[in-house]
Amino acid sequence: MTTDSQAVLTANAAHADPVAAVVIALAILLVAGKLAGELAVRFGQPAVLGELLTGIVLGNIGLAWLDAIKIDPTIEILAGIGVLILLFRVGVESTVDQMLQVGWSSFLVAVLGVAAPFALGWGIGTWLLPDASGYAHAFIGATLAATSVGITARVLQDLGWSRSLEARIILGAAVIDDVLGLIILGVVSGVIASAGRGEAYSPAAAARIAASATIFLVGAIFLGRTALPRLFAAGALMKIQGVLLTLSLGLCFVLAWLASAIGLAPIIGAFAAGLILEDAHFSDYASRGELSVGQLLQPIADFLVPVFFVLMGLRTDMRTFAQPGVLWLAICLTLAAIIGKQACSLGVLARGVNRLAVGVGMVPRGEVGLIFANAGLGLAFNGVPIMNRATFSAIVAMVVVTTIITPPALKWSLERKRAPSS
């Protein structure tokens, strides 16, 4: 960080209430993000893309007080909580029953859609970043693994294909894809953290971390099927307002803490918390006219989630693309992201399905890729960050491109057939 940026922080600390510095930063991030999100939607793109791009613009105009926001610890914490809320909502919108009902096509699509990009990303890291550690190469692969299916779901809905067989396969695979991607993130992050403590890598150590992530998710599902119905039923007997939201957020934060305590990423716990919440848990609240958990979370998400995306844009240094090889790395990662997800269409077993549309629908990385990349910024091996700013910027470029191209590409691939499969 520049000397000017540090001077700005010092001046703020000396002459202003620290809350004032935080609230003006939040005002900038939220208003700029919302305006850019509106503009993106008007151009047929998801709002998250506008939030990310406005952060990139603000972060590269050279104003010291904007640079100071990038390293503000309070903004960092708020953005981290925003990520937990985001993954919690993704889990809430999915269910364990969905995972069990999607069939072999969705399962194979998910497995291939995680394995192929992971292998390609690892290979590209080995090829283009030979001086980086193998851990860095593995983490690059992890950032390419998971799909941001919210973009695809919106396009399918707008085109009237949300009930098609292609849509069911894509959306079902996306749930499994998220779980597998988070397990990979947990394994790679855990191995890197262990290596940073001087522990030698071994396949057995990686297997133990993978087992920990799996056991954690299975344990969370067991909790959801046994203890949660009683907990939420007891909460419904209380007369004060906000019990449903309090219990839901409490579950999210406790599982995020437990995940961190056993060496996994907190977002795994947040996702698991949302996944185990079922509509049956809220029936008593709904019968007396209360809002659903998704509706209750909406204003919180509107506040915290854009902070994360704009902050990720702020941290994208466009000057790094002038460095030798960075632009080429971004191009190769983007191609790997697209080609890797096309491989997942080989997992479609049902006849008459538009396999091209399935592959295209799994392409966008969106918020998931950014979450993974941001996690890499906090990991180090032998004192060297796993992911430097140049690599982070290349990954952001991949996220932007895959997000932009998916809506028109999916529309074209679907319209190659006259009617949705059913």
Q: What is the CATH number of the domain that holds 342?
A: 1.20.1530.20
Q: Is residue 5 part of a domain?
A: no
Q: Is residue 7 part of a domain?
A: no
Q: Identify the segments of the chain with pLDDT beneath 70.
A: 1-16, 95-103, 149-151, 154, 157-159, 196-202, 366, 417-422
Question: What was the pLDDT predicted at 59?
Answer: 92
What domain count does the chain have? 1
Q: Is residue 309 part of a domain?
A: no
Q: Is residue 326 part of a domain?
A: yes
The full 3-state SS of 365-389, as one line of letters, equals CHHHHHHHHHHHHCCEECCEECCCH
Q: Is residue 221 part of a domain?
A: yes
Q: What is the DSSP letter of 418?
A: S
Q: Is residue 317 part of a domain?
A: no
Range of the domain at 408: 95-294+322-414
Beta bridge partners of 380: 385
Q: Is residue 229 part of a domain?
A: yes
Question: What was the pLDDT predicted at 266?
Answer: 87
In 3D space, the residue among 215, 150, 209 whose CA is nearest the CA of residue 185 turns out to be: 209
CA angle 108, 109, 110 (to 5 degrees): 90
Q: Is residue 422 part of a domain?
A: no
Question: What was the pLDDT predicted at 85?
Answer: 92
pLDDT tens-place string over residues 189-229: 888 877 766 666 667 777 887 888 888 888 988 888 889 98
Question: What was the pLDDT predicted at 158?
Answer: 66
pTM: 0.80
pLDDT tens-place string over residues 262-303: 877 788 888 889 888 887 778 888 888 888 898 999 999 999
